Structure 1
Amino acid sequence: MTESTSAVPSPSLRERRRHQTESEICRSALDLFERFGVAATTVEQIAEAAGVSARTVFRYFPHKEDAALVPHRDIEATVTRRLAAFDGTAPLLPQLEQMWEEILTGFDNGDSDSGRQMLRVWCLISQEPTLLAASLRAEAERMEQTVAVLREALGTDADDLRPRLAAESLSTLGRVTIETWAARRAAGRDVDLLDTFRQAREAAHRLIE
């Protein structure tokens, strides 16, 4: 599958407003979760802080925990572009590793907007079981989408275990990388996200040698 060179259409005004509202809810939820904890924070409090109604919060997020997990558009675009360019004739794992390395590069070691948000979320996840459950649920949904794309690229069906094994392996690798990096940063250590990913990848490769 070759990478498309066509220009990505600019979002409409309605989409931009929707994304802005979504981001405001996310920022408000994160602030409140950090101050009071997830259990003690209500949807009404999130709505008031974001300047919207509780009904609007529920329209965007079925569960309040989901509000803290909004992915940034640039990261979503990276995943979409990488999966669209997936080559079904080449080995799966190296392509998924490259995709994850590009995703993590976009977080700029916690210095970009998306990187700061991710660091805040994962520091919270280590203390909030319901937020961890929401994260795993979101990860499972993305996994199904990735597996479907890989199956299409390979021209196979559900009997072929390669797409799921490859996607699950790299998703676990990515999650372990982010968890480890966030925990080390929270402990005051000066660690680099990409270096952590490469260490995790090398450790995973040694397991199957």
Structure 2
Amino acid sequence: MEISEAALTLFESKGVEATTVGEIAQAAGVSQRTFFRYFATKEEAALRDHWAFEAILGAGLDRLDSDVSPRLALEASFAAALTVYSDSSSIACQRLLRVNRIIKKEPTLRAVLARASVARNATLVDAVSKRFDCSELQIRLAVDVSIAVLRAALETWVDRSSTDEAANLPETYSLARTLAYK
């Protein structure tokens, strides 16, 4: 079993606080030393798929369409990136869903993500600033609003997926974009 998978499995059964790095390493069949070569904390190990999700979102930042507003450019970039998650039965989609269900239940993981969001937003502001000749306020608003729409879509998708196997992240994001500006 890989380290991230072991962390997720243990967090699902015992919770984050009750799980130790030693237990994760043992379940993964590695030493604690090996664990720490890959991850700084047990929380980081469980969030690998979330970081991959954010990397996918960030991959299109150098291609933002400067012919539209910064917000529309970011949202179009996010929408394009989310096509990776179109197939609800794909491994990537199922892992993202699984980690987000755990995040929803675990305040420790939410706190890690809240701290990381500061750096992510700064990266987005920097990327948008390089492509658009706008005020800092307009760029910050574009980033914050775009992230809020994405977060609402992601959380709604996670909730819907519990009762609706056909729930689709890109479609939920498209709906969130529409509803956000009504």
Do these two structures clear the TM 0.5 threshold for a shared fold by scoring above it? yes
CA 1:147–1:128: 2 relative to 1, 3 Å: same
Residue of structure 2 in register with 1:113 after alignment: 91
Higher RCO structure, 1 or 2 (CA under 8 Å, sep 6+): 2
Query: 3-state SS of the aligned residue for 2:16?
Result: coil
Residue of structure 1 in register with 2:55 after alignment: 76
Shift, 1:44, TM fit: 0.9
Q: Residues 128-184 of structure 1: CA distance to partner in whole angstroms, max 9, x if unpaired?
A: 11111122223332221111111122256xx61122211111111111111111112
2-side partners of 1:90 and 1:56: how far apart?
A: 47
Q: Which amino acid aligns with 2:41?
A: H
Match of residue 134, structure 1, among 112, 115, 133: 112
Residue of structure 1 in register with 2:146 after alignment: 170
Q: Work out whether residues 110 and 119 of structure 1, in 8 Å CA contact, stay in contact via their aligned partners in 2.
A: no
Match of residue 46, structure 1, among 10, 21, 24: 24
Q: Residues 70-107 of structure 1: CA distance to partner in whole angstroms, max 9, x if unpaired?
A: 14758735632x11112445311222111111222212
Alignment of 1:55-94 (within 5 A): 55-71=33-49, 76-77=55-56, 79-80=58-59, 82-94=60-72
| TM-score with structure 1 setting the length | 0.75
Q: Work out whether residues 61 and 67 of structure 1, in 8 Å CA contact, stay in contact via their aligned partners in 2.
A: yes
Residue of structure 1 in register with 2:103 after alignment: 125
Shift, 1:113, TM fit: 2.0
The percent identity for this pair of structures is 36
| TM-score with structure 2 setting the length | 0.85
Residue of structure 2 in register with 1:194 after alignment: 170
2-side partners of 1:115 and 1:26: how far apart?
A: 16
2-side partners of 1:24 and 1:73: how far apart?
A: 16
Gaps of 5+ in 1: 1-22
Aligned length: 181
Q: Residues 9-32 of structure 1: CA distance to partner in whole angstroms, max 9, x if unpaired?
A: xxxxxxxxxxxxxx9221111111
Gaps of 5+ in 2: none
